Chains A and B, each alone.
Chain A
Amino acid sequence: MDAIIQAQGLTKLYAQGEAAMRALDEVSIDVRRGELMLLVGPSGSGKTTLLSILGCILRPTSGTLRILGADVSRMNERDLPAVRRERIGFIFQAFNLFPTLTAGQNVALALDLKGISGRPARERSAALLEQVGLGGKLDAYPADLSGGQKQRVAIARALAGDPPVILADEPTAALDSHSGRAVMDVLKTLAHERGRAVVIVTHDNRMLGYADRIVRLEDGRIVADESARDSRFGIRDLHPEGAVA
């Protein structure tokens, strides 16, 4: 599999009074096309910091980050929105949908950022919602959707730019197990059948069975990076459904 994300020696320091807090310490990681990778670890281990850097919304203090071969860690600040727009789709724990817009409009807003509007945007939004199983919810407002449905709208929105990378922050944390499974099924399909590189930060052990690879962070360092097949987290033989239940 090709590496879509190549991170080398990523370090992130935060000023904390006169001292510096090392949120990430020399993290090197590749994420390949068609791979669903879980980032796990205790709170404060640097998972979200790493996800933010991989998503080009936080700059590393040192180290390099390449996305599809382009060194984004050296890019001008003004060029990063375009990278996020064109190459990365985000999924958030709290869905972050626009409450004043319908499901279709939420998806179309992401298309609008890419300069796609009007009928093409409508048709693409409808197709994306159909793809995540919400074909009938085009005109529904977020307030009228369940948590799982909201997260699937958020997935459709993340896919609007047709990005090769999907980054998800605790996508099942606010969902019941049934909804969580449905969301993970969609993400797994995106990785395995659509060739996206999917990186998911999670505390949810029920998700482990969906992973192709599990990276464990502690104190800003990678302490384990194993394929699910060889994982010592003991999930190798678990059926995904069984893992979530």
Chain B
Amino acid sequence: MRPRISELAWRNLVHDRVRLLVTVTGVVFAVVLIVVQFGLFLGFTTTTSGLIDHSRADLWVMTARVPYIEMGVPFSERKLSTVLATPGVAHATKYIVRFSQWQRRDGRQESVQIVGFDPDQPLGAPWNVVEGRTNDLKLADNVFVDELYKDKLGVSRVGDEFEIRGRRARVAGFTRGIRSFTTSPYVFTSFKSAQNYATVPGDQTIFILVGVDPTARVADVRRALAANLRDVDVVTTGEFSRMTRVYWMFTTGAGVAVLLAALLGLVVGVVVVAQTIYATTMDHLREYGTLKAMGATNGYLYRVIIQQAMISAVFGYTLAMVVSWFVVRGSVKGGAAILLPLPVAIGMLGLTIVMCTGAALVSINKVTRLDPATVFKG
């Protein structure tokens, strides 16, 4: 026999199981919607800057005022020798990211992004290689594509041959989970082949990736490079990553749309939970009046209502996380990654509690205004 606040809150909730089901369903719906939309946002954001974040470079040299990685403009590769001669530079390599056309065997054209790097250098190589070796890309016209895009590109196995802008391309390996934010999959190849596929003139590059000596400070090397090089920008990997993410997520509005959908989920959740908790409060209004007459403070009543909201939140969150786990798992092989890192999952618990507690405010307002004298009215 536990007539404490939590017992009363629990009994009030389970007294009407249909209403509890509606409340929990509302919370589940809202939380899954928020998780999916926010997970998509995280997935998109991570995808947009994937090449930069996995480049292992400390600094990027590029034509001035390039806003994001897909907008690189060719410049003279002679700048590479200046970069290599700068104190503090441990490695530097030419790098290409540029759109091109992939021709399937059935003749259909697909837009791709050629990623050209030097397989002898530790910078800019593909990651998550599941078939083939990076060194295989030293051979001219060998390419890696991601497993996710096999169907799109018409690839079935290593050794398949295609054409990129009329030049032969042979699939030498596969990566796993390297998505492109655009509809054009990445095709990794050697820098030399990339120049051909992406029609970059033989004496030009689009980026120079720089690895800084561990004994040097990145900021110092950056300053030295900026002083030695003309008509280019030198940015850190973090800055370039941020620039690319901001461009795709906010300048294009893609991320804003996804975030708005997440916000919509929050609003839906608040409305559904507020309605059901309010209805439960109205059902028990006479009892709250009785409690007030018996000497319960408003704080005591608030705790009953808030605990009802918290119980709904915990039930809803738990079920929503189960549903979300399946959704996230299902997205692994899909075109869009939905990410649910642990901190976000934990944060969602907090957000769900805030959502449900916020929804309880309408009921709290009602109880605050409740006149205990109503208990004497028949």
Residues of A within 8 A of B (CB): 48, 51-52, 55, 57-58, 78, 81-86, 88, 90, 92-94, 96, 98-102, 104-113, 117, 121-122, 125, 138-139, 157, 161, 169
Contacts and interface: CB of A to CB of B under 8 A. Distances in A.
B374 to A, nearest CB: 9
Contacts of B343: none
9 contacts: A52-B373, A90-B294, A96-B289, A100-B8, A100-B14, A109-B3, A109-B8, A109-B291, A113-B295
Contact of B295 (A82, A93, A96): A82
Nearest to A174: B378
Interface of B: 1-5, 7-8, 11-12, 14-15, 286-287, 289-297, 300, 372-373, 375-378
A101 B15 CA distance: 10
A113 B294 contact: yes
Given A96-B287, A113-B291, A169 B376 contact: yes
- Which of B15, B300, B376, B378 counts the most chain A CB atoms within 10 A? B376
Contacts of B295: 81-86, 88, 113, 161
A169 B378 CA distance: 9
A57 B373 contact: yes
Contact of B293 (A57, A107, A125): A57
A107 B7 CA distance: 14
- Which of A48, A81, A110 counts the most chain B CB atoms within 10 A? A81
- Dominant secondary structure of chain B at its interface with chain A: helix
A121 B3 contact: yes
B293 A94 contact: no
A27 B330 CA distance: 75
A92 B7 contact: no
Given A48-B376, A96-B286, A105 B296 contact: no
A58 B373 contact: yes
Contacts of A106: 3
Contacts of B12: 100
B116 to A, nearest CB: 70
Nearest to A114: B295
Contacts of B4: 112, 117
Given A96-B287, A98-B8, A112 B3 contact: yes
B1 A55 contact: no
Given A92-B375, A96-B287, A101 B3 contact: yes
A92 B292 CA distance: 13
Contacts of B5: 112
A179 B287 CA distance: 24
Given A57-B293, A110-B294, A90 B1 contact: no
A51 B375 CA distance: 12
A157 B290 CA distance: 11
B15 A100 contact: yes
B256 to A, nearest CB: 46
Contact of B3 (A85, A90, A105): A105
Contacts of A85: 294-296
Nearest to B15: A100
- Which of A51, A98, A104, A139 counts the most chain B CB atoms within 10 A? A98
B11 A113 contact: no
- Which of B287, B293, B297, B378 counts the most chain A CB atoms within 10 A? B293
Contacts of A101: 3, 7-8, 11
Given A99-B15, A100-B11, A122 B292 contact: no
A102 B2 CA distance: 10
A48 to B, nearest CB: 5
Contacts of A86: 295
Contacts of A78: 297
B297 A81 contact: yes
A55 to B, nearest CB: 7
A187 B196 CA distance: 102
